[in-house]
Structure 1
């Protein structure tokens, strides 16, 4: 099957330096991504892992190349084709694998996550894990100022459904702080490079598929901090966004995203 990846532009700011890369999807994140990259640079995180920004088409000036170079970003990918978050991730994963990285860590670009935890993902990849899920709900993790409606929906709906479909007990399934091995993403029974993954489908699918296929899966503790007041940093609208998430959960349980005989090489 031909890999389906949205059109994108590549702006390499530095050569490949590390075994793994950190893909950060962004779109108009403003000061959030700037502050996040500054935090990452303060403990020399960009010396441990190449930072790849997966931009969905920002227009707020937060992805200016000169500024990104000062912040230690290795490469900026700019999606010019259609699609939302899953399309950005397909773009980032495809390019990262083509460049030869042995594993990929992902974290949201809105500044909520503990980028200081990235070394834990690197360690897990080195130990041979294929699907590493960051969790704020296990020992050592922290969930700070999580909106009550988000907390309840994750705990009572998303986690039980994904865990049931995966046959693996997850504790934090909406968290985009994750790690994937190269062998998992390129396995013929996975095939993440399909246009069916457009919004949030790819996150749920990859969580379920790894345990089902016998790939080594684990959770590691992370911290996720929401602002104590003001607008919640999220791209998910309350009604349409949550309705779409329910549809995705239903499709995952039914195996709709699994490769069929026509899509296998």
Structure 2
């Protein structure tokens, strides 16, 4: 019997990841031989795009999208999503090129999709999850930030900023990629939150996140303030809508009760 994961694409966005790309694609192809890969390169000056082309020339499971400029991670993933939707992939995954997401753990995400989940997040902060080689300050910033995000949105997810994910095709088809926020890395929260609001089945599985050993992180600490402000705005909007809905339902119930009492008289 066929499973959704039998038709899986992993999107790997890159910018100056030549040192890491060959290793991560090799590990992925060994761990999951039936999975396809598309590298979305933002015109890396270090030759990452050329390295990706060489991998694709030797392996028909590897594909490459060349973008003309560095336009951000969200835009790269959206282009990868659009590429996947033009083809017959049933599961579409996100994975970093720097080795922080172990390809050997991808089966955890795919297994959960096959069990019925619509979105699966590889989580650092549920039992069994782990972060290796991060400074304490960065760990606590990420952990506390995710606690705040979950509380503000009421999403009941532990790691909404995580970037190791698997989506059913139907989820990506249902979301308007043009509307995704591009405030730093907040688009990952945006994607998860939109899926939750549309009542898709969003699950988390534990992963071990390992800080990159080669190359430089693209993460700028300035994104934190902007991201949390955006999440606060979403949370307030969500709570306001909840209160409005509650007030409307309450008013309807009161009107119904009053009507019943008058009718009985």
Report the TM-score range of the alignment, normalised by the length of the smaller protein.
0.7 to 0.9
The equivalent position to 1:216 in structure 2, one of 188, 198, 201, is 201
Q: In the aligned structure 2, how far is the partner of 1:33 from the partner of 1:50?
A: 15
The residue that corresponds to 1:263 in the other structure is: none
TM-score of the aligned structures, taking structure 1 as reference length:
0.77
Q: How does 1:58-69 map to 2 (within 5 A)?
A: 58-64=44-50, 65-69=53-57
Q: How does 1:70-81 map to 2 (within 5 A)?
A: 70=58, 74-80=62-68
Compared with structure 1, are the counterparts of its residues 165 and 96 closer, same or farther at alpha carbon in structure 2 (3 Å cutoff)? Answer: farther
The residue that corresponds to 2:107 in the other structure is: 119
The equivalent position to 1:249 in structure 2, one of 218, 226, 231, is 231
Q: Give the paired residue count.
A: 232
The residue that corresponds to 2:211 in the other structure is: 226
RMSD: 2.6
Q: Within the alignment, does 1:38 sit opposite 2:26 as a pair? A: yes
Q: In the aligned structure 1, how far is the partner of 2:42 from the partner of 2:159?
A: 25
Report if aligned partners of 2:28, 2:103 keep a CA contact under 8 Å in 1. yes
Point out where structure 1 has 5 or more consecutive residues left out of the alignment: 1-16, 257-265
Q: Within the alignment, does 1:50 sit opposite 2:61 as a pair? A: no
Q: In the aligned structure 2, how far is the partner of 1:62 from the partner of 1:131?
A: 29
Q: Within the alignment, does 1:169 sit opposite 2:156 as a pair? A: yes
The residue that corresponds to 1:5 in the other structure is: none
Q: In the aligned structure 2, how far is the partner of 1:165 from the partner of 1:183?
A: 27
Q: In the aligned structure 2, how far is the partner of 1:99 from the partner of 1:88?
A: 17
The residue that corresponds to 2:167 in the other structure is: 180
Compared with structure 1, are the counterparts of its residues 171 and 72 closer, same or farther at alpha carbon in structure 2 (3 Å cutoff)? Answer: farther
Deviation of the 1:170 alpha carbon:
1.9
Compared with structure 1, are the counterparts of its residues 193 and 227 closer, same or farther at alpha carbon in structure 2 (3 Å cutoff)? Answer: closer
Higher alpha-carbon Rg: 2
Report if aligned partners of 1:138, 1:221 keep a CA contact under 8 Å in 2. yes
Point out where structure 2 has 5 or more consecutive residues left out of the alignment: 239-265
Q: In the aligned structure 1, how far is the partner of 2:137 from the partner of 2:18?
A: 26
Deviation of the 1:38 alpha carbon:
2.1
TM-score of the aligned structures, taking structure 2 as reference length:
0.77
